[in-house]
Amino acid sequence: MVGTLGGMALAAAFRGSPALAAERPNIVYIMTDDHAAHALSCYGSRVNKTPNLDRIAAEGMRFEHCFVTNSLCGPSRATLLTGKYSHANGFRQNGDRFDGTQVTFPKLLQKAGYQTAVIGKWHLESDPTGFDHWCILPGQGAYHDPVFIEAGGRKKHQGYVTDLITDFAIEWLRRRDKARPFCLLYHHKAPHRNWQPDAKHAKLYEDAEIPEPETLRDDWATRSSAARNSQMTVAKHLTPGDLKKPIPPGLTPEQELKWRYQRYMQDYLRCVASVDDNVGRFLDFLDKEGLAETTLVVYTSDNGFFLGDHGWFDKRFMYEESLRVPLLVRYPKLIKAGTTSDRLVINCDYAPTFLDLAGVEPPADLHGRSLRPLLEGKPPADWRKSLYYHYYEFPGPHAVQRHYGVRTATHKLIHYYHIGEWELFDLQKDPRELRNVYADPAYAGVVAAMKAELDRLRRELKVPEDAAPQPRRSAQKGK
């Protein structure tokens, strides 16, 4: 009882005292949609430059090995909010409806005296809960003159979506209560398909030849039938709406592949360039407001993306380009500028990190772990050595079979459990994941060890058996 009263008094003190509030960080979580790590120059991109995003890395920490636990828009967002895997938060695939009555980190921060907002892409079907203010795109939203939904209703706005989301984020910060800390989820739609650039970047890369990835002509030999039967190739599955220009007549198949790749990447990277400009504008605003020192700034994406890698666009697979996301974190009070971490980090870790830094005890049932010791440059000896992944959306767009798997620092085991196929990759010898060595007798010991680790993780996370694919619930139109 005394503890409870003490806690209440403390919460009241936090709410009322600017001095105490100043000790807790403001939180800005910037998430883009489908921005692959290999399309940021601070991650060694061969295809573009992102000077403003690189600034976050230069002034903070860059994570080399940050992964999502289900590489898809909606599920990744549900995991961000809950700190839990899809099977535990109930949002397994796009078209599911997020149960907004469950515990989320914004709700806990709100209770602890934070002012909270989410602005931009939401994609969870139900209305946001736990936010003092929300202004979201319906579903995927539009690139040009988009409609936004707020608690008060829907309104169409003139302009380009990446500019508008940034304008709204800055506006909300201008109106904030300066006596209390804030948590802002600033979520871009870009660079999601179908990659519509703004006028400012419309001619970027027009005369450039964007370097092709080594695996653009992958034939998926040795990989599972799941890889061969998926439908996300640059060569065949980009639609006229994606390409936006007629295919020049008379091209050989090889010439057409080259043309399609350039066309895809030009528009993708133009959308990324606008994100980079706008994040720069946002960082400048934090500087001008004197918030740079007291605000934790996170930049990441909801999933990775194939940029022609393995011949594909899109995500979903547990392969590196889709599994891995950029993670840049700046908070000068805690993080030494220009540092990196090579530890295995997952998107379940965000919620416990934000709660930890805000001085709020994280619920015991979260699947992630606070990144604070990594940010401080003191990784604990018992930091995770493996991570679990689970993708559910089959049948569904791009026809990627359901699969789960485990990744360690050196190997990856994937089980396509409804078709009974396995893949094992030796990430040290084969970082591009071109040789499935599951059936190679030399790897029998690794297979056994990885299967044991996979079983251990599934038990620990209480992952239920996924009996049979259910027909995909159609996404609500217009919301």
List interacting residues with Ca ion (CB under 5 A).
Answer: 33-34, 73, 302-303
Of 52 and 70, CB closest to Ca ion: 70
Least CB distance from residue 141 to Ca ion, whole Å? 12
Of 33 and 218, CB closest to Ca ion: 33
Of 302 and 393, CB closest to Ca ion: 302
Least CB distance from residue 303 to Ca ion, whole Å? 5
Q: What are phi and psi of 441, to 5 degrees?
A: -55, -30
Of 33 and 321, CB closest to Ca ion: 33
Report the distance separating Cα 374 and Cα 350, nearest Å.
13
452 CB-near residues (< 8 Å, 6+ apart): none
Of 34 and 453, CB closest to Ca ion: 34
Least CB distance from residue 302 to Ca ion, whole Å? 4
Report the distance separating Cα 452 and Cα 119, nearest Å.
42
Least CB distance from residue 315 to Ca ion, whole Å? 7
Report the distance separating Cα 178 and Cα 225, nearest Å.
56
**Looking at beta carbons, which residue is closest to Ca ion?**
73
**Distances from the Cα of 7 to the Cαs of 15, 26, 40, 120, 373, in angstroms?**
12, 21, 43, 34, 25
Least CB distance from residue 33 to Ca ion, whole Å? 4
The stretches of 90-139 forming alpha helices (DSSP H) are 105-111
Tell me the torsion sign for CA atoms 327, 328, 333, 337.
positive
Least CB distance from residue 265 to Ca ion, whole Å? 17
Report the distance separating Cα 402 and Cα 469, nearest Å.
8
Of 54 and 302, CB closest to Ca ion: 302
Paired with 425 in beta bridges are 412
Of 14 and 143, CB closest to Ca ion: 143
Of 45 and 303, CB closest to Ca ion: 303
Of 33 and 125, CB closest to Ca ion: 33
Report the distance separating Cα 341 and Cα 401, nearest Å.
32
**Distances from the Cα of 322 to the Cαs of 98, 190, 197, 231, 396, in angstroms?**
23, 16, 22, 15, 17
Report the distance separating Cα 319 and Cα 235, nearest Å.
19
Least CB distance from residue 76 to Ca ion, whole Å? 7
Work out the burial of residue 160: count CB atoms within 10 Å of its CB; fewer than 13 is exposed, 13-18 middle, 19 or more buried: buried
Least CB distance from residue 34 to Ca ion, whole Å? 4
What is the edge-to-edge ordering of all strands in the sheet holding 411-416? 386-391, 403-408, 411-416, 421-426
Helical axes 253-288 vs 161-174, angle rounded to 10°? 10
Least CB distance from residue 35 to Ca ion, whole Å? 9
Of 73 and 387, CB closest to Ca ion: 73
Residue at token pair 């605003």: 285
Least CB distance from residue 414 to Ca ion, whole Å? 20
Of 35 and 84, CB closest to Ca ion: 35
Least CB distance from residue 479 to Ca ion, whole Å? 18
Helix (H, G, I), strand (E, B) or coil at 437: coil
Q: Are 326 and 83 in contact (CB under 8 A)?
A: no
Report the distance separating Cα 167 and Cα 274, nearest Å.
13
Residue 235: count of CB within 10 angstroms of its CB: 16
